[in-house]
Structure 1
């Protein structure tokens, strides 16, 4: 199962996200759930860092593991990107509940 945690402040502001695991939906190279989650996560990271010019507080991307965290000062610039990612991933979670779990972690 893929676990996605949005890293949120007590007031609800999202400061980043963590993606861990593999869905197990299909074999490597044919797993549409993994592909959808990975593609969405990389789109957000690339949009925030390369298009909007935000320097991440933390960025780690390895096989089956991604962590992306911003500084509080950058939250207003990133808010809509994170909201879009949340909508996309919760939609996937509704379609594939046994392969993807989306949650929030207070930081």
Structure 2
């Protein structure tokens, strides 16, 4: 199962963490894992490409299945970053609705 957490502070997303594998299908054929991977990496790439907001990212590149991204205060204040992070939340919510045996999404206040 994939576990996704978005961290909020004062109703603004300040970090997200995704771990695990869906187990929906064999490796290379798992559409749930692929969808979550595409959403999360596209979000990080878009923030990097379209904003100047620095962030810290940690990933398990050997095994895969883990990504944590943390934004500084200026990232929380940047409307473009927030829009992209809300888009990530929207996409993950849709996946959770359709494939809730394979993905859980939580929002945690920090």
TM bin, normalised by shorter chain, reads over 0.9
1:26 aligns with 2:25: yes
Deviates more, 1:73-82 or 1:17-26: 73-82
* TM-score normalised by length of structure 2: 0.90
The number of aligned residues is 105
1:10-49 matched pairs, under 5 angstroms: 11-49=10-48
Within a 5 Å distance, the mapping from 1:1-107 to structure 2 comes to 1-9=1-9, 11-56=10-55, 58-62=56-60, 63-75=64-76, 76=78, 77-107=80-110
CA contact (8 A) 2:18 2:67 kept: yes
- Of the structure 1 ranges 30-39 and 42-51, higher mean CA displacement relative to structure 2 is found in 42-51
1:34-83: CA deviation from partner (whole Å, max 9, x where unpaired): 00000100000011112212210x20122110000101112223110011
In 2, distance between residues paired with 1:43 and 1:54?
16
Unmatched runs of 5 consecutive residues or more in structure 1 = none
TM-align CA RMSD: 1.0
State TM-score, norm by structure 1.
0.93
